[in-house]
Amino acid sequence: MLLFWILMIVFVGIAVIVGVVKFKETKSMAADGKIINRKSMFWEDAELFTTTATYEQLKSAVKDGDFSSSSVDIYYDADGQKAILFKSNHAWNAKIELFGEQGDKNVFRLYFPAWKTQKYGTPYNINSMNAMVTSIEKILLSIDPATTVETSKMEVKTKTKFF
C-alpha cells in the first residue's frame, strides 16, 4: 500500500512539472508573437483566406518565412497542385492550397489533413501547430493587409487502436 502512494505522488509530481513547463512554453511563445490564443481543437477546422495574394507570392513568402517554432519540412506544389505541404516531426501535417477564386481574389484553404494523437486524444505538440498557422496568417497579411479569413469545421475521420 505504501508503494502505491509513493508511485501516485511521483506520478502527480511529474504531471505537475510537465504541465508547468508546457504552460511556460505556451506563455513565452505567445509573448514572442509566435502563437496566438486559439479555440480548443483548432486543428479540426479549416481556414479559408480570401486575398489578392497569388500562389506564387505565397510560395515565395513561405520560402523566406521562419517556421523554426514548428519544426516542419516544406514541400511546394504538393501532389502537382498549387499547394504547400508542411510535414512536422511532431506527427502532424498541414496543407495550404489554392481553393478557388472570388472575383479578382484568390481563396486559400489551410487545414491539417493528418495528425497522430497522444493518449488523451490531443495531437502531439499543439504549440507547433499553432505556430505554423500563425506564421501563415502573418505571411498572408504581409502580402495583403486586407486578407479576410473564415473558419469552417472539417469532417474528421478517426482510427481507433484496440491493441
What is the per-residue pLDDT across 92-108, written as a single tens digit (0 to 9) for each? 999 999 999 999 999 99
| Three-state SS at 107 | strand
Q: What are phi and psi of 4, to 5 degrees?
A: -60, -50
Q: How far apart are alpha carbons 18 and 16 in whole angstroms?
A: 6
Nearest to 63 by CA among 86, 81, 32, 47: 86
- The pTM score is 0.80
Q: How far apart are alpha carbons 14 and 21 in whole angstroms?
A: 11
What is the per-residue pLDDT across 20-56, written as a single tens digit (0 to 9) for each? 666 677 667 667 767 778 888 899 999 999 999 999 9
Answer left, alpha or beta for residue 158, where phi above 0 means left and psi between -120 and 50 means alpha. Answer: beta
**What is the domain partition of the chain in residue ranges?**
39-153
Domain 39-153: what homologous superfamily? Kinase associated domain 1, KA1 (3.30.310.80)
